Amino acid sequence: MSTYTPTYTPMIQQYLKIKADYKDCYLFFRMGDFYEMFFDDAISASRELEITLTSRDGGSKDKIPMCGIPYHSAANYIRNLVEKGYKVAICEQVEDPKTAKGVVKREVVQLITPGTVMEGTMLDEKENNYLASISGYEDGSFIISYNDLSTGENSIATIQSGWTAVLSELFNRPVKEIVISSSLLEEHQLDLKERLQVTLSYHDETEIANNFEHLLSNLKKENEINSFGRLFNYIQKTQKRSLDHLKPAQLIELNKYMSLDMYSKRNLELTETIMRKGKQGSLLWVIDQTVTAMGSRMLKKWLERPLLSERLIDQRFNLVDGFLEQFFERETIRDSLRSIYDLERLSGRVAFGNVNARDLNQLKLSLSKIPDIKKQLKDFASERVQELSEGVNPLDDLFDLLDNSLIEDAPITIKEGGLIKDGFNSQLDDYRYASRNGKKWIAELEKKEKQETNIRSLKIGYNRVFGYYIEVTKANLHLLPEGKYERKQTLTNAERYITPELKEKESLILEAEEKSIDLEYQLFIDLREQVKTYIPQLQALADKISEIDVLQGFATVSELNRYNRPKFNDDREVLIRQGRHPVIEKVMKNDSFVPNDVEMPEDRNILLITGPNMSGKSTYMRQLALTSIMAQIGCFVPCESAVLPIFDQIFTRIGAADDLVSGQSTFMVEMLEANHAITNATENSLILLDEIGRGTSTYDGMALAQAIIEYLHENVQAKTLFSTHYHELTSLEKTLNQLKNIHVRAEEYEGSVVFLHQIQDGAADKSYGIHVAKLAELPLPLIDRASKILEQFENNQTKKQVNLDKKDEEDQGQLSFFVNQEKGSKKELSKFENKLAQEIRDINIMEMTPMEAMNELYRLQKKLKDKLGGS
């Protein structure tokens, strides 16, 4: 039996050959004015892009699926695919179809992936767009390399503490795509795809060519060089163009920054909210008062990595103080900064070769503001602010070059002229003179011919096919002198003529225009190459402007929101007066936020917080963490005064939802996050644990919560805020000398609960759970029934009280299984309990089938019923 093998046309064969090298990409195959896609690409792209799926003959028996998009509007379609995590290979015609023998030669000229986007329309101007690579080593360490192709930034971080730390590090930055070795463990690849939801790419080549060794100047270890090599080679392979804007890779020394794991960053909503995944409602949203795109990106990087060096933090504080003291000068510098375009990404576009004249005019306008900024910095009284001006290089030579060369309202296209000023190039001036004077001569000729022939409707026109011509209507042909005009074209109502004199001028004019456009294009390319030599200086200027922008932004937000400068101490003391939650007070907008103090002297490590739901326990915990992070990035903080230690790490377990992606329940996530904090925290860390133990039975949860508190108290000794509904835990204050009870005030008023949101010493006296349910407007019959059940529980004299004090643990013995003691004496029942407990203990459930286990459970239940009675 024979199988049919399709015989495709040469063009489809060419497509399939190229596609074979780009199997994980959509191949945009250029055909004339369209990018076409075929086979599975066409079926998938038509669905993703919502475009029509058609078909065409390709030499096979069956028609081939096909869809296409106009090349001039491809950017929007590419952005759509890349935002969804796909890759797009751009395959262009690389020879002129008019001169091609057979199928036009085509090649992939660029690969656009989520991590290598360069077009401004596809980038968030206030966020970096990172491509990362991961390399694992036999000693268990991992090296992560980062690149932002749009800005040229490169950096490297070494992770020694396992795969979970790798996920936290990657989660902490806006990574869109990760390059990995083909040998990376499958479970690690699955984590990257499902937990971080990034695009994965594979590349194994790590050796870097000699002409790019300057990128390795800060790297000393072979593993660091190889890890960065994987990333760089992937970029080179996909981009196929100049990478002159890439900066030397910087080592990120993680031990110099506060560690924020993925749970803490998520729970504290530093850069985006948990629910909406947007900036609004996050800490970044509140404190971002930058006015440049570069400054906004730098602020986000500072927020991702709070400092541990008190000296460096104080340097930032001093500069914020300097900006804060002079409102009018600060507003003046803000106005100047608003005129600064994105110097980092403009530099990238220059190197990449996709910069146009408008981009360079934006660069010129930005540079024109630099001398003003330099002068404005010197107007501040603070010497430290004045010193910032010393690092601001106005790049006068580059400004003069752009100012002398470019027309201010130059078009976007660079191949149709209108880019270069008169006087910049003498040859261009000659061409323009010939063109302009030729056209003037044409106008004078038309006037002259009208006078000589007395034909008022005579006109001289131009089209690309016939060039210049003299047009006369047929009604006036008899007025033309004989022998002077040569017929060129006949129309319905007119005739078109040329003269030897007109033909001669036409040649001069068209040659001048064509040569003028070609020369302008070449001059622009040369100009771009000259600008490219300034890229390192532009990038240094961009860093300085970004820093100025972030610091003035800190001063601005501190003045707007009444923030104050905190102080640090080495005694592990936390003393915050009238502290506020920066985000919630901003959202409330009506000054109704209730501030609270936080007091944790050197000998107090744990605050046990009780109080009803909705009263503000979680807010109180979060505001301490956010205040600490703000302080350690150099921003003033929302309180009247603050004395803080420098925290090396922050761990949180606050109200996270089930980790459905990894198939883990709320309780399992709760235990994993608690374990992560317990095992990694030091005495210099901050731990926030909210309602630990609520995901399991009451006694289990209470026992675990107490054990965790005791372990933190005795072994870790980190500053810890622990909120709970287990009021029995408040007795720990008597036995744990570093623990203090505090509670959030609530009062009953006319049958309802009023939350006062005030923190006070001591434990809460009751839970108010039913009152909260009433506020949530549960049905009244349900509320009434719950109140009656609660009253029965509170009046039930037979219920057991469970003493969880550690010192009584041994005396407590086995908890009673039974509350009903009406049948039989206590002694008899106790004997029966012990016997039944022994039987349960002796069962080896792991060796039983489900049916055997069910039968055994039935037997024990029947035995219990016989003893106690009841159905």
Contact 459, 446 (CB under 8 A): yes
**Owner of token pair 């592990």:** 572
For 649-676, what is each residue's pLDDT tens digit? 999 987 644 444 444 567 777 787 888 8
CA Rg, the chain, in Å? 38
647 three-state secondary structure: coil
- For range 502-519, the mean pLDDT: 86
Which range among 175-184, 416-425, 433-442 shows the weakest confidence by mean pLDDT?
Answer: 433-442
What pTM was estimated for this model as a whole? 0.83
Pair of tokens at residue 27: 């191949």
Contacts of 500 (CB under 8 A, 6+ apart): none
Which range among 102-111, 570-579, 687-696 shows the weakest confidence by mean pLDDT?
Answer: 687-696
Q: Given the DSSP bridges, would you call strands 752-761 and 467-473 parallel, antiparallel or unpaired?
A: unpaired
| 617 assigned to a ligand binding site | yes
Pair of tokens at residue 38: 């075929």
> Taking the mean position of all CA atoms in its chain, how far away is CA 99?
47
Pair of tokens at residue 352: 């990449």
| 779 assigned to a ligand binding site | no
Pair of tokens at residue 765: 């006296």
Task: Check pLDDT > 90 for residue 813.
Answer: no
| 31 assigned to a ligand binding site | no
What's the CATH number of domain 120-256, 3.30.420.110, 3.40.80.10, 3.30.2230.10, 3.40.50.300? 3.30.420.110
Which run of H or E residues covers position 110?
strand 106-112
What is the structure's pLDDT at 439? 82
| 68 assigned to a ligand binding site | no
Three-state DSSP string of 252-317 = ECHHHECEECHHHHHHHCCCCCCCCCCCCCCHHHHHCCCCCHHHHHHHHHHHHCCECCHHHHHHHH
What is the structure's pLDDT at 293? 96
| Within this chain, domains 288-395+534-561 and 426-528 share the same CATH topology | yes
| 454 assigned to a ligand binding site | no
What's the CATH architecture for 288-395+534-561? Answer: Orthogonal Bundle (1.10)
Dihedral angle, C-alpha 412, 417, 419, 421, nearest 10 °: -160
Query: How much is the mean pLDDT over the chain?
Result: 88
> Taking the mean position of all CA atoms in its chain, how far away is CA 190?
21
**Owner of token pair 């990694």:** 680
| 613 assigned to a ligand binding site | yes
Pair of tokens at residue 384: 């430290």
Residue 108 CB: number of other CB atoms within 10 A?
20
Which range among 404-408, 540-544, 750-754, 779-783 shows the weakest confidence by mean pLDDT?
Answer: 750-754
**Owner of token pair 């250029």:** 30
Half-sphere exposure for 765 (CA within 13 Å, toward CB): 4
CA distance 225 to 304: 25
- For range 749-762, the mean pLDDT: 75
Give the torsion sign (CA, 46, 51, 57, 62): positive
Higher pLDDT, 831 or 663: 831
What is the structure's pLDDT at 866? 72
For 236-268, what is each residue's pLDDT tens digit? 999 988 899 999 999 999 999 999 988 888 889
Positions of E strands within 694-827 = 719-723, 739-749, 752-761
Q: What is the CATH number of domain 10-112?
A: 3.40.1170.10
Q: What are phi and psi of 815, to 5 degrees?
A: -65, 145
Closest CA to 734 of 806, 664, 811, 632: 806
Task: Check pLDDT > 60 for residue 543.
Answer: yes
What is the structure's pLDDT at 815? 43
Q: Topology of domain 567-767, per CATH? A: Rossmann fold (3.40.50)
At the top level of CATH, the class of 426-528 is: mainly alpha
| 611 assigned to a ligand binding site | yes
Residue 381 CB: number of other CB atoms within 10 A?
10
316-340: b (≥16 Cβ within 10 Å) or e: bbbbbbbbbebeebbebbbebbeeb
Contacts of 13 (CB under 8 A, 6+ apart): none
How do the domains of the chain map onto residue ranges?
A: 10-112, 120-256, 288-395+534-561, 426-528, 567-767, 822-868
Beta bridge partners of 608: 722, 741
Which range among 36-45, 412-421, 784-793 shows the weakest confidence by mean pLDDT?
Answer: 784-793
Which run of H or E residues covers position 67?
strand 64-70
Contact 300, 271 (CB under 8 A): yes
Contact 418, 516 (CB under 8 A): no
What is the structure's pLDDT at 750? 59
CA distance 795 to 89: 74
Beta bridge partners of 67: 37
CA distance 719 to 602: 9
CA distance 385 to 427: 48
| 588 assigned to a ligand binding site | no
Pair of tokens at residue 780: 């009244």
Task: Check pLDDT > 70 for residue 597.
Answer: yes
DSSP state of 406: B
- CA 145-252-544 angle, to 5 degrees, is 105
What is the structure's pLDDT at 508? 82
Pair of tokens at residue 254: 């993680």
Contact 54, 67 (CB under 8 A): yes
